[in-house]
Structure 1
Amino acid sequence: MLIDWFTVGAQVLNFLVLVWLLKRFLYKPILDAIGAREQRIAAELADADAKRAEAQQERETFQQKNQEFDQQRAARLAKAVDEAKTERQRLLDEARQAADALRAKRQVALRQESEQLNQALMNRTQQEVFAIARKTLTDLAGASLEERLVDVFVKRLESLDGEPLAVLTKTQKTATDPARLRSAFDLSADQRATIQTALNKTFATEIPVRFETSPDLISGIELSTNGQRVAWSIAEYLKSLEQEVGELLKAKDQSDVEPKAAQPAPDAAHP
């Protein structure tokens, strides 16, 4: 099959334009949104640190008052010190717990949003890649590819056994209409004869067949009889491959989330 380099070049150019558009109108706004959120979270964390510094200032004030009380009355010193320490610790604990809780909440929210954005980007990229692949295969289809598709379909018929073959055989015996064989391209007389011979051999009987041309199959052949079918096409292969890629990405996301969920929570009692 001759390769149309103009078509190939056009497809490459289309792909580069698509990558530039994704970067310009999808990735950049998303990254800008993430940067703005990170700045807002940093400001909130700075506010929490300011509250902690204020609590520390209150602690120093309490200590100074305790020293003044010590100079005045020894009896009142012990009670004042105990009360000041208790109150100081309570304020510090509350401020620390509030800061830790806020930091943990913001980190979880940022991580979840980042994971969602990454998943959306992967899904979008996956869809675009497979769409380009389908269009490219459709544009590059030719006579040699059609002959190969017939060979693959015949081999698939010859490899039928077990339950699939039994179901199709039973269905064919009860069918009142001829079997319907659709192909994405016009089959030659020799190709039809080859498929007819393979059908007769597979089902061990003469099978009436109605041949049809359906370009929507995208380089494929499909045999259907009474609700059952045997098919092979590049479109179905790409669909199956796309589903497998999606499952792999989903499994990867789950494996990434499980270690994060197993991490211990921050220790609220650290000094």
Structure 2
Amino acid sequence: MEEFIGDIACRIDGTWPVRTEGSGRILAKGTNALASSVVLVCRRRPEESESIARKEFQRQLRREMPEALEAMIGGSEGASPIAPVDLAQAAIGPGMAIFSQYEAVLNQDGSCMTVHDVLILINRSITEYLSPESGSFDSDTQFCSAWFEQYGWTKGPFGEADVLARAKGTSVDGVVEAGVLESGGGKVRLLKWKEYPTDWDLAQDECTPVWEALHHMIRRLNEDGESAAGELLARMPEKGEPLRQLAYHLYTLCERNRWAEDARAYNELIGVWHAIVTASHEVGHKGESLELDF
């Protein structure tokens, strides 16, 4: 890509994710294979293009990438959102569009910033956008996400969990009471979605962290299908956006740690998200209307 942009002096003008990969093909079965091909639309860069400093480029990236990521994650005009497995690839387009409009992006020492460095910053912008620290998530969910990033589903020291919980504004006992954490013998462990109770009643749950809601949603989807997951979403429409964002974030963590089986659960949820939302509307929302763009 670096040679292509440098030799032809082009700028990326648009990104078109195209659903070209069928889920039934042999390679895709049982894998986290890409679901889409991403076409980059390029035009010749004007000869009068200017150069900018790396810091200014980073500021522009922080300003413009969230909107581009939201368009991909949210879907538009009835289209399904980009699958988590495709997000890093799809995000190259809008990120490189910012970079490629300039003659050069200059580091502090005057050298030209490389495409490799740009891709690192683009991936970092995805992580920052999806981070539970962004303000869309409750304290219990922030704790669970941080603990999962370090320990996955394995046990970890109670002392570490206690310090982390306090830092996130919650407590180990509180997360245990939420029904997502097991504590005993000086160790704590996050419960897998398969361990969540099948008789869970949202109406009787006084506090439902987004983490808990997401994994109940995955359990419903896997055990009872899209309609059942949609029925659950209809009962908590205000959690729709945080649920979707957390699924993307956890997929990213799983992919980074090469937890393929866990990554697949989050990827599959987003893959049928539009169908789940449609099913939730058929059931009829209870309470607030669900504010999701498709």
With the shorter chain as reference, the TM-score category is: under 0.3
Q: Which has the larger radius of gyration?
A: 1
